[in-house]
Amino acid sequence: MIKASSAEIRRILENINRFNSTPEEGEGTTRVLFTEPELESRKYIKSEMEAVGLKVTEDSVGNIFGTLEGSDPTLSPVWTGSHIDTVLNAGMFDGMAGIVCGIEALKMISRSGITPKRSISVIVYTSEEPTRFGLSCLGSRTMAGALTPEDMKRLTDKDGKTLYGVLTELGYDVSALPDVVRREGDVFASLELHIEQNRHLDDAKIPVGIVRGICAPTNYEVVIKGVQGHAGGMAMEDRHDAFMACCRFALELEKLAKSSQGEYVTATIGRVRVYPGAVNVIPGYVGFSVDIRSIDMESKEIIMAQLEKVKAAVEEEYGVSVEMRLDNHDIPLKCSETVLNVVRDVCKDTETESMELISGPYHDSLFVGRFAPAAMIFVPSKNGISHSKDEWTDFEDLATGTQVLAESLC
Ligand code: GLV
Ligand code: MN
Ligand code: MN
């Protein structure tokens, strides 16, 4: 197998990074699903796929496939890939690394004169980030049958546009959405490369992580209704302050996550809206998001049950109402031992130092793993930073990961 080119990986990553709706200094990269930069980046990636001889196709939810055809078209294919959409003010690696390294891996395989028996596709999954529609992994979720056309008609962005409507406007054939769904046996195996987004590899100075499992999110939208009032006029004991109630709820949630017996549990309140939002007004209404993750369903369910008690206690203490709407409750993935063993063997054979990890962040593989044996390879994130303009991965580390990816895919 020829060597992965860190220069090529860098070139394509830097080119993708130019498709950015926040290009101002210090603002990082923002590429939200089906905005102009995201649509332009799709065209660019298709051109890079074609340049290395991949056959490009796209399904009805916008998942893009770049396929290196195998010698036996009757066999189920092998998949790799990730996403090109970002959170707001992100870096240039989360998601994109998996696509660029996937293209490089397929180029290495074909330029080494290897014709794999099975076709291998590098996939750009539509909108792994929930940035536009508030729900993650739209493309891979649809493939897993967990996002139906009916769901897409209900899913709206901040302007009230539905995913179904946007797909239709862009000319996707929504009547073919049922064909996006994959069943067991349709895909032989899947291996996604991603940056770690945590500090284990960087701390240990190990270039490759072998991912045993992927945590899954549970998301609530919470609304606390209190009583709006005058910040100077109302005594502390007379208040029903929705924001103070929210703070108590948040601190209790933090305690629940920190004291959980689960192997890996996180809880985050990442978006809070305080109304009416003025310095001299006691907030009457607060809306906020809750994101709870774990590698096992049971730990999440224990926290969910305890949160019901927190809700009741906060209502009682502050004289407010707390409404919790469960929007999403995804199932964590245990990665396929068969695929993991392939990666373990490649690391051994190529004398690449590796380390076994679980992923706190979710990935498209969480959903691909519902219908195919799936696993992931991680490469180091500097200081574990991600979802930030300061996200960084060395191109040499990406090349090392690509080498392991390429050897594992064929
Ligand atoms: C994906 O970006 C996540 O939030 O885990
Ligand atoms: Mn992300
Ligand atoms: Mn990602």
pLDDT digits (tens, 9 = 90+) for 318-335: 999 999 999 999 999 999
* pLDDT range class, residue 366, cuts 50, 70, 90: very high
In which band, very low, low, confident or very high, does the pLDDT at 233 lie, cut at 50, 70 and 90?
Answer: very high
Compute the mean pLDDT over every residue in the chain, rounded to the nearest whole number: 98
- Ligand 1 centroid to Cα of residue 410, in Å, is 28
pLDDT, residue 389, reads 98
Mean pLDDT of 233-246: 98
What is the number of the ligand 1 atom nearest to the C-alpha of 387?
2
Structure confidence at residue 187 as a pLDDT band (50, 70, 90): very high
**DSSP-assigned letter for residue 1:** -
Gap from CA of 20 to ligand 3 centroid (Å): 17
Q: What is the mean pLDDT of residues 203-211?
A: 98
pLDDT at residue 121, as a whole number: 98
Q: How confident is the model at residue 120 (pLDDT cuts 50, 70, 90)?
A: very high
The pLDDT of residue 128 is 98
**Long-range pairs for 253-259 at CB < 8 Å and ≥24 separation?**
253/290, 253/292, 253/303, 253/307, 253/310, 256/303, 256/306, 256/307, 256/310, 257/292, 257/303
Burial of 335 (0-12, 13-18, 19+ CB in 10 A): buried
Give the pLDDT mean for 382-396: 98
Provide the pLDDT confidence category of residue 190 given band limits of 50, 70 and 90.
very high
257 within 8 A of 302, measured Cβ to Cβ: no
3-state SS assignment for residue 372: coil
Nearest atom of ligand 1 to the alpha carbon of 129: 2
* Residue 9: exposure state from Cβ atoms within 10 A (0-12, 13-18, ≥19): buried
Band of pLDDT at residue 6, cut at 50, 70 and 90: very high
| CA 283 – ligand 2 centroid, Å | 32
Using 50, 70 and 90 to split pLDDT, how confident is the model at 15?
A: very high
- Say which ligand is closest to the CA of 386: 2
**Ligand 1 site: residues with CB under 6 angstroms?**
129, 361-362
Short-list 153, 150, 307, CA closest to 218: 307
Residue nearest to atom 2 of ligand 1 (CA): 129
Residue 361 Cα to ligand 1 midpoint, Å, equals: 5
CA of 236 to the centre of ligand 2 (A): 41
pLDDT at 165: 98
Residues of the chain with pLDDT > 90: what percent?
100
Residue with tokens 């399904």: 59
Q: Quote the percentage of the chain above a pLDDT of 70.
A: 100
The residue whose two tokens read 């991600």 is 386
Contact, 107 vs 152, CB < 8 A?
no
Pairwise CA distance, residues 25 & 22, whole Å: 9
Q: pLDDT at position 215, please? A: 98
Please name each of the domains of the chain with its CATH number: 6-215+333-409 (3.40.630.10), 216-329 (3.30.70.360)
pLDDT at 194: 98
pLDDT at 137: 98
Return d(Cα 51, Cα 47) in angstroms, integer.
Answer: 6
User: Using 50, 70 and 90 to split pLDDT, how confident is the model at 31?
Assistant: very high
- Model confidence at 365, in pLDDT bands (50, 70, 90)? very high
- Model confidence at 35, in pLDDT bands (50, 70, 90)? very high
Interaxial angle between packed helices 36-51 and 6-16, expressed in degrees from 0 to 180 and rounded to the nearest 10? 150
C-beta separation of 360 from 134 below 8 A: no
pTM, 2 dp = 0.94
Residue 52, pLDDT score: 98
As a whole number, mean pLDDT of residues 82-109 equals 98
Ligand 1 atom having least distance to the Cα of 293: 5
Region 34-61: mean pLDDT is: 98
Nearest protein Cα to ligand 1, atom 4: 361
| Cα–chain center distance at 341 | 24
Q: Which residues surround ligand 3, an ion (CB under 5 A)?
A: 94-95
Mutate to test the pocket of ligand 1, among 85, 140, 197 (most ligand atoms within 8 A of CB): 197
Q: Which residue has a Cα nearest atom 5 of ligand 1? A: 361
